[in-house]
Amino acid sequence: MPDLQPVYDELVRRLSVHEDVFRTTDNVTEANCDGGRKEAQAPDPGSYLLLGAPFRNYSDGISFAGVRLGKRYVSYHLMCAYLRPETVADMSPELRKRMQGKSCFTFTKVDAALFDELDEITRRGRDNFAAEGLTLR
C-alpha cells in the first residue's frame, strides 16, 4: 500500500489557506443538517473540514471542503463542485479522472500539477461562497 500521509498533508496544507474565512473541524457530523444525527467524536487525525456560514438547515455551517485520509486513497471533497457544477466545467481530463461522484477527488500520490489545478477550482469555489454570503468573514 502507498504511503498516503504525504498526500493528506499536502492537500490539508493547500486547503488551510482558506481558514481565514471558514471554520475548521475534524468532526464530519458537524456538517450534518439540524435533523441529522450529531455525535460528539474524538478528534480524527485523518479528517480536516472547513465549514462556512450557517445556511438553511445547516446551523453549524455549510460544508465548503474537506480532506479525508482513507485506507487506499486520500479524498478531497469540494462542495462547490456539487452546488455549482460550472466551477469544475473546464477541469482537465487528468483531474476529471480523479473525480468520484459530483464533488470528490481521490489521490494516491502527490501530483503538483493536479493539486495546482484543484487549488484554482477551490479558489473559484471560495469566491462563489463569498458572493453568496456563505463565508464567515
Query: Percent of the chain having pLDDT more than 90?
Result: 71
Asked whether residue 38 is domain-assigned, the answer is no
* Of residues 137 and 124, more confidently modeled: 124
Query: Which pLDDT does position 61 carry in this prediction?
Result: 87
Lowest mean pLDDT among 33-37, 62-66, 105-109: 33-37
Asked whether residue 114 is domain-assigned, the answer is yes
Burial of 108 (0-12, 13-18, 19+ CB in 10 A): middle
Dist CA 88 CA 71 (whole Å): 26
Q: What is the pLDDT of residues 52-86, one digit of tens each?
A: 998 888 888 889 999 999 999 999 999 989 989 99
Question: CATH number, domain at 82?
Answer: 3.90.1150
Asked whether residue 79 is domain-assigned, the answer is yes
What domain count does the chain have?
1
pLDDT at position 30 over 60: no
Strand segments, DSSP code E, in 12-62 are 23-25, 47-51
Asked whether residue 137 is domain-assigned, the answer is no
Mean of per-residue pLDDT scores for the chain = 88
**For residue 100, what are the domain limits?**
5-33+43-131
Q: What is the pTM of this model?
A: 0.87
Asked whether residue 136 is domain-assigned, the answer is no
